[in-house]
């Protein structure tokens, strides 16, 4: 079993955190077909009737966290499938779970959650690669350069397995103290550059995933810890360290713990050139005003890309006695659910450039271990279609029996800006498109077309953008007859 880490519930200090969901793999066979949810409808469309539909109107996601034990919980799975379009593993992708012994990786538990999520039309956040808690046991006997090397090897090994499959990775988790200085830890003792090294290693291991720093108690703009993290991100962006997003965990107590300057915090981080996300939200007694406020703050900041609650029902929560989630123990939505839904539907901003390529490092990254070679998962040859102004290239992200997750990259072939694009492709017989993001589709089977979303139709000279999708059906055959055109 995992050691139970400690972390603060409130700003006044740390308390024990009970994380539901073991690291043991719970493997199940599922024949459920994902409910069709087509992301990124226009703001002028009909209001969404689920959390994910409402969030997708503005190009955002609404996610949840789950442990492997929830894979056999039909009540949890029913709500997850209906309401959420992003999933985070509670423990199953953490360092102790994925590398129990030096160089020996075990992805069964993480893969079980990942496979269920993508087969039900969701994307996945990776959590986490480097943390002072829940480390591989053998790290306890290491220090200095040996521990640094172990961290690099761990990042390379895990990211090689999930290369091209995840939307985000929490590369480093909870590395700051409450006074704004670096947290004292064995990783910090390897040198103050350990966080930078972790991000550069991660970018070299997977050029396509968004890389995030994640922490708690960084919601108030005037709080010392917030300023410490902000200054690190500002420095990283100035020096070309590849950080793409900041995750604010958003664990709020009831009453007045939602800072009045929360939106300022989000917009200040975003102004540095990173996305922001609310990654582990829960609120004591599911305060309606607190949930409405945190959601509204995110909706007011264009680069706030989404919200994740840490669990779905109160019975799933590490703070279960405080009843902090949007659904009660009987799976009924609370009044806070309605407040969040309304705030999502009322979003006045859309996420700009959410399909832009992740940042790249401007200096050399630590080399990848020879034992951590990247895996390939393509089923069928990637397809490329070109029609003058643009080129569309398909990549198989993750296939399974009866479906796959794919990605299409649209490249502007010219030196002038491309104003709008449409990709056409043909799905194999028996296949159905069940989810799509960063675009708008016409048709769900056979010959379909995908046009740009409102925020990624403008592609600079020789630039690119991409959209992703999930297909279910009788096979995992890659689509054919791919073409790209521009008005």
Q: Give whole-number Cα distances, 389 to 160, 362, 383, 415, in Å.
A: 34, 30, 17, 10
* Catalytically annotated residue among 92, 219, 280, 407: 280
Contact 136, 63 (CB under 8 A): no
Establish whether 263 is a catalytic residue.
Answer: no
Distance CA 189, CA 201 (A): 18
List CB contacts of 74: < 8 A, sequence separation 6 or more.
none
Distance CA 266, CA 164 (A): 27
3-state secondary structure of 43: coil
Distance CA 242, CA 237 (A): 7
* Catalytically annotated residue among 56, 99, 174, 219: 174
E-state strands within 156-236: 168-173, 210-215
Establish whether 56 is a catalytic residue.
Answer: no
Dihedrals phi, psi of 295, to nearest 5 degrees: -70, -45
Residue 275: count of CB within 10 angstroms of its CB? 24
Instruction: Please list the residues that pair with 176 across neighbouring strands.
Output: 182
Decide: residue 193, CB within 10 A, 0-12 exposed, 13-18 middle, 19+ buried. Answer: exposed
Contact 24, 38 (CB under 8 A): no
DSSP at 271: T
Joined tokens for residue 478: 């890659």
Active site residues: 174, 280
């Amino acid at each position: 079993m995992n050691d139970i880490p400690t972390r603060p519930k409130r700003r006044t200090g740390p308390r024990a955190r009970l994380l539901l969901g073991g690291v043991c793999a719970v493997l199940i066979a599922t024949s459920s077909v994902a409910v069709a949810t087509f992301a990124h409808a226009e703001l002028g469309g009909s209001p969404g009737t689920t959390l994910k539909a409402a969030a997708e109107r503005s190009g955002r996601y609404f996610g949840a966290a789950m442990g492997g034990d929830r894979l056999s919980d039909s009540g949890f799975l029913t709500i997850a499938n209906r309401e959420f379009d992003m999933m985070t593993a509670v423990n199953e992708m953490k360092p102790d779970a994925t590398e129990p012994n030096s160089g020996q990786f075990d992805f069964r538990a993480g893969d079980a959650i990942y496979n269920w999520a993508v087969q039900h039309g969701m994307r996945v956040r990776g959590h986490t690669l480097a943390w002072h808690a829940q480390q591989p046991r053998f790290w306890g006997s290491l220090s200095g350069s040996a521990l640094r090397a172990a961290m690099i090897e761990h990042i390379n090994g895990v990211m090689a397995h999930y290369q091209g499959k995840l939307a985000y990775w929490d590369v480093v988790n909870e590395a700051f103290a409450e006074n704004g200085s670096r947290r004292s830890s064995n990783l910090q003792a390897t040198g103050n550059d350990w966080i930078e090294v972790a991000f550069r290693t991660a970018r070299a291991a997977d050029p396509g995933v968004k890389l995030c720093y994640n922490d708690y108690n960084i919601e108030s703009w005037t709080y010392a810890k917030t300023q410490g993290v902000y200054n690190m991100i500002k420095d990283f962006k100035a020096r070309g360290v590849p950080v793409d997003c900041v995750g604010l965990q958003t664990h709020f107590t009831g009453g007045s713990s939602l800072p009045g300057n929360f939106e300022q915090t989000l917009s200040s981080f975003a102004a540095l050139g990173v996305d922001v996300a609310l990654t582990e939200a829960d609120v004591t007694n599911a305060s309606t005003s607190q949930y409405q406020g945190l959601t509204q703050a995110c909706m007011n900041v264009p680069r706030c890309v989404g919200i994740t609650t840490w669990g779905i029902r109160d019975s799933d929560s590490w703070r279960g006695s405080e009843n902090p989630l949007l659904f009660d123990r009987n799976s009924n939505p609370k009044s806070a659910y309605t407040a969040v839904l309304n705030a999502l539907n009322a979003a006045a901003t859309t996420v700009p450039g959410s399909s832009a390529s992740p940042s790249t490092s401007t200096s050399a990254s630590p080399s990848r271990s020879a034992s951590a070679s990247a895996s390939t998962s393509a089923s069928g040859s990637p397809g490329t279609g070109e029609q003058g102004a643009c080129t569309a290239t398909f990549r198989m992200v993750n296939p399974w029996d009866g479906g796959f997750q794919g990605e299409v990259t649209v490249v502007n072939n010219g030196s002038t800006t491309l104003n709008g694009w449409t990709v056409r492709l043909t799905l194999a017989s028996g296949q159905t498109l069940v989810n799509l993001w960063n675009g708008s589709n016409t048709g769900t089977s056979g010959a379909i077309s995908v046009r740009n979303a409102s925020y990624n139709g403008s592609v600079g000279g020789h630039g690119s953008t991409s959209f992703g999708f999930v297909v279910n059906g009788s096979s995992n055959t890659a689509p054919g007859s791919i073409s790209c055109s521009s008005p």
